[in-house]
Amino acid sequence: MAHGRKLMARTLWRAALFLLLCFCCHLLQAARPRRRFSLQALSPEFWKLVPHDAKLTQMATGFGFTEGPVWDARGFLYVSDEKLNKIFRVYPDGRREAVISLGDPDGNTYDMELRLLDCASVLRAVIRVTPDGHYTILADRYQGKRFNSPNDVALGPDGAVYFTDPTLDLPAGAKQEIPFQGVYRLDAKGNVTLLTRDLAQPNGLAFSPDGHRLYVDDSDQRNIRVYNFSGGRLTNGRIFGKEQGEANDGVPDGMRVDMRGNLFVVGPKGIWVWDAQGHHLGTIVLPEQPANLTWGDRDYRALYITATTSVYKLRTRAQGFVPWLAYAQKSHGVAAAGY
């Protein structure tokens, strides 16, 4: 009996010590100073895209982990929160409205009809979300096997939807049914086509304004790949650029392009700015590590950035390329502000 009491006391002591260590780690994490916002130019071309006096503003904060921003012309953002398991409408004054509760929502986009599409990690699916908070699964399998955890999604020049499927958010305890991490095309009829499986952990993706290139970054290899795009197919995959950094500085993630073909890509410490030839022009260093970004405001010259617990805004000199507006104008002659 005495031996049993000693064993129990020892077990309780170890548990208490473990909890104390966890608490101390939490305090250290909370006390760690945030990075200072700064603009680090590597080329004079950087200043043609971001003004010297650009000011970063915190639009909203207090989230768990923000992702997937989409600007709506009515003056708000859709924002995913991977920890709170919700998609919100976030307004310029910081107000937020929950649209839907959903396990680990991730990247979002509008389709050609301005309907919100989301990469739903727990559902392991690409879904369409209505403004009143209902969803429809558009695709959750390839050749009968469940996706890993769809991560980011982009509208293509042909009106189809393109998305990445890494294992980064594969639900705990879930089985990986597809033995690779792919990039896929989803057409209006629900047909899913594998485009490439040559990335370790494909993440953010974006098309060039002319629709002839698809960029995809790899969070594991810490690089950006570019492919020639034609007829819904990819060819000539090659390394476009590398985003190397320290272990805790962040990895390549969401990306956007401007009307001139420059890329704004999440990377170590912030947003890396690249020209269309693969030259790293500079970095927008942010207080919190970003995950994704989108163009917004009436003229689409503002970057809205989802960064850990917050959403930030940065006005630029660049005009953003917004696929659903550009393609709608090209296909139907629909006019949009700035287009």
Q: Is residue 338 part of a domain?
A: no
Look-up of token digits 């919700």: 86
- Beta partners for 120? 105, 125
- Cα 21 to Cα 29, 32, 180, 330: the distances in Å are 12, 16, 37, 59
Q: Name the one residue in this structure whose structure tokens are 């950094």.
A: 245
pLDDT single digits (tens) 43-93: 999 999 999 999 999 999 999 999 999 999 999 999 999 999 999 999 999
The enclosing domain of 219 has a CATH number of 2.120.10.30
Q: Reduced to 3 DSSP states, what percent helix, strand and coil does the chain have, rounded to the nearest 5? A: 15, 45, 45
Which tokens hold the place of 4?
């049993």
Q: Please, are residues 225 and 217 in contact by the beta-carbon 8 Å criterion?
A: yes
User: Is 231 inside a domain boundary?
Assistant: yes
109-114: average pLDDT? 96
Compute the distance between CA of residue 318 and CA of residue 309 in angstroms, rounded to an integer. Answer: 26
337 assigned to some structural domain? no
Phi, psi at residue 131, to the nearest 5°?
-60, -25
Going by C-alpha positions, the residue among 183, 210, 207 that lies closest to residue 194 is 183
CB-facing half-sphere around the CA of 14: CA atoms within 13 A: 6
In a domain, 14, yes or no: no
Q: Does residue 20 sit within a domain? A: no
Q: Domain count of the chain?
A: 1
Q: Are 272 and 43 in contact (CB under 8 A)?
A: no
User: Residue 24: enclosing H or E segment and its boundaries?
Assistant: helix 2-31
- Tokens representing 326 are 């550009």
Q: Using alpha carbons, select from 211, 213, 209, 212 the residue that is nearest to residue 257.
A: 209
Q: What is the pTM of this model?
A: 0.88
The Cα–Cα gap between 238 and 252 comes to 16
Residues 300-318 have pLDDT tens digits of 999 999 999 999 999 999 9
Specify if 12 maps to a domain: no
Distance, in Å, from the CA atom of 287 to the CA atom of 243, rounded to the nearest integer, reads: 18
**pLDDT at residue 330, as a whole number:** 67
Mean pLDDT score across all residues of the chain: 90
Domain hosting 60: range is 35-332
pLDDT at 327: 87
Q: Report if residue 6 sits inside a domain.
A: no
In a domain, 7, yes or no: no
Torsion of CA 250, 286, 279, 246, to 10 degrees: -30
CA–CA gap between residue 185 and residue 309 (Å, rounded): 31
Structure tokens at 153: 């999604």
Write the DSSP symbol of residue 46. G
Report the distance separating Cα 75 and Cα 86, nearest Å: 20
Query: What integer pLDDT is reported at residue 16 of this predicted model?
Result: 40
Q: pLDDT by residue (tens digit) across 125-166?
A: 999 999 999 999 999 999 999 999 999 999 999 999 999 999
The Cβ-side half-sphere exposure at 333, using a 13 Å CA radius, reads 0
Mean pLDDT of 165-189: 97
